[in-house]
Structure 1
Amino acid sequence: MNRLASGPAIDVLVNKRGPVPEGASEYAREKMLAAVAHVGSPVLAIRAQLTQAANPSARRPATAQAMVDVNGFPVRAHCAADTMFEAVDLLQDRLAARLSGTRQRAGRAHRITADVRGPAGENGGHGHRPDRHRPPVAERRIVRHESFGLGRQTPEDAVIDLEAMDHAFWLFTDMTSGADCVVYRHGPGHRVASSGGDAQEWEAGPCLSVSPARAPECGVDEAVERMRLAGLAFVFFVDSATGRGCVLYQRHDGHYGLISPAP
């Protein structure tokens, strides 16, 4: 019997997308509980998502991802395989390894939840404040600038971070290419954009598309002007002064915030 059965109940939620096979959700629930069975710190919640591509001939059509809240620190993993049950097995192993061998980056969370508006037409899960308190477009300025070291991740793991933190976008450094990138919600799934342009190669999946456009290279002032003219929720650009990918975003108060990688 799993030792968790005699301890506090863990909140486990398994979401499904696409034609996920019968029994996979309960199988994933059991495997996730087994992965956290020997964690010393309190496990507050487990969130898993199973995604099955509609086209069975797609390469590795089954994906499984999970986020475990270990006493306030998120631990995440993502796997893809030919079958859903195989993907869940791989996910268990990867999650267990991360739980036992990885200290979480407590300062990694982008502290912008209270500031960021979602993509155009959405609020990205954050509250929407009345427009009557916002300054005219010409008077909007950058009132917050944050700079920190970006984590090296795959786009899939960045999506997990984005959803776990409920942000409108997630800035990261691609694990393979070393290019600064951003993921954001796009239609029913997510989209990734890279500062590396055509040099970056990713395999698009059923829930992750790749932006065909290269991030513009410009100064911060020009990025602000793009925001003002296009009315965008955020702009991903390559700062011509540093050569790094940055995000300029609109805050709830109508002014702008800027996120840039630390030198």
Structure 2
Amino acid sequence: MKLLIHGRNLELTPALREYTQSKLERAIQHFEDMVKEADVHLSVARNPSVPQQTAEVTVFANGTVIRAQERSENLYASIDLVASKLCRQLRRYKERHSDHHHSPGHRASSTPTTEAVIDEAPIDGSLLDGKEAHLPSPGVRRKYFAMPPMSVEQARYQLDLIDHDFYLFREQESGQLQVIYRRNHGGYGVIQARD
């Protein structure tokens, strides 16, 4: 498994790096056949009056993104919590995709790896010719994702895996973009455009 560890507002000591690696390897050991890459971000809040230390892990399992994040007053405790949470999420993912959910003789189709999807065609010429560099406005971060069509139930499952409050997806039947979110009083809601 490829493990990338990044630190923000802290020095990544060899002891911290080794602790993080051992905890994540232990959390992922039963899922090594699925997990090929893990990206870890460790950070410490700049405000000394708020002792908040965060461990965030993003795992790429068979083309699916699984994310876990935990905060506490101690970075080592945050790493322990995020490793436990990640293990639970991987177990849930594996149970959902194991063969006992399908009729005999049928297997779930496997998601292609990133390398299989990337177009290997060479790039001719410069990508920068005739273009001017500009930075996005402060506070705006853009993310780009492939959005294969899916049902609301599949989107709910993805929302649980990424550990966010909402998930943007392309609805299977209509092809429209919709947002599924966790409601404050339990359950889920879906936001969709009115025709």
TM tier, shorter chain?
Answer: 0.5 to 0.7
User: Which structure: greater helix fraction?
Assistant: 2
The offset of 1:87, in angstroms, is 0.2
**Structure ranking higher in strand proportion:** 1
Q: Give the equivalent residue in structure 1 for 2:79.
A: 88
CA 1:79–1:125 in structure 2 vs 1: closer, same or farther (change >3 Å)? Answer: closer
Query: In structure 1, which of residues 96, 102, 117 is the aligned counterpart of residue 93 of structure 2?
Result: 102
Shift of 1:86: 0.6
**CA distances 1:15-57 after superposition (whole Å, capped 9, x unpaired):** 2222356343332122111211111633210111112101233
Q: Determine whether 1:38 maps to 2:30.
A: yes
The 8 Å contact of residues 62 and 82 in structure 1, kept in 2 or not, is answered as yes
Q: CA deviation at 1:70?
A: 2.0
The amino acid across from 2:72 in the alignment is A
Answer yes or no: is 1:76 the counterpart of 2:67.
yes
Q: Please state whether the residue corresponding to 2:59 is helix, strand or coil.
A: strand
1:72-95 per-residue CA deviation (whole Å, 9 max, x = no partner) reads 222221111111111001111111
1:158 pairs, out of 164, 169, 186, with: 164
Contact 1:47 1:67 (8 Å CA) reproduced? yes
Kept after mapping to 2: 8 A contact 1:69/1:75: yes
Partner Cα separation in structure 1 for residue 32 and residue 74 of structure 2: 32
Q: Does the 8 Å CA contact 1:21/1:84 hold for their aligned counterparts?
A: no
Evaluate the alpha carbon distance shift between residue 98 and residue 171 of structure 1 in structure 2; reply closer, same or farther with a 3 A threshold: same
After superposition, the CA RMSD in angstroms is 3.9
Structure-to-structure mapping, 1:1-263, within 5 angstroms: 10-19=1-10, 22=13, 23-39=15-31, 41-58=33-50, 61-103=52-94, 124=142, 148-149=151-152, 150-151=155-156, 157-158=163-164, 171-174=179-182, 176-177=184-185, 178=187, 244-246=190-192
* Counterpart-to-counterpart distance in 1, 2:7 and 2:27: 20
Report the CA distance shift for 1:123/1:61 in structure 2 as closer, same or farther (over 3 A).
closer
The CA deviation at 1:123 is 8.6
Q: In 2, Cα distance between the equivalents of 1:120 and 1:247?
A: 27
Q: Which amino acid aligns with 2:142?
A: G
Give 3-state SS (helix, strand or coil) of 1:32's partner. Answer: helix
Q: 1:78 to 1:175 in 2, by over 3 A?
A: farther
Unaligned runs of 5+ residues in structure 1 are 1-9, 107-118, 127-145, 163-169, 181-243, 249-257, 259-263
Partner amino acid, structure 1, of 2:42: L
Query: Aligned pair in 2 of structure 1 residues 53, 40: CA closer, same or farther (>3 Å)?
Result: closer
1:49–1:66: 8 Å Cα contact kept in structure 2? yes
Q: Find the counterpart in structure 1 of residue 128 from structure 2.
A: none
The letter of the residue matching 1:245 is: I
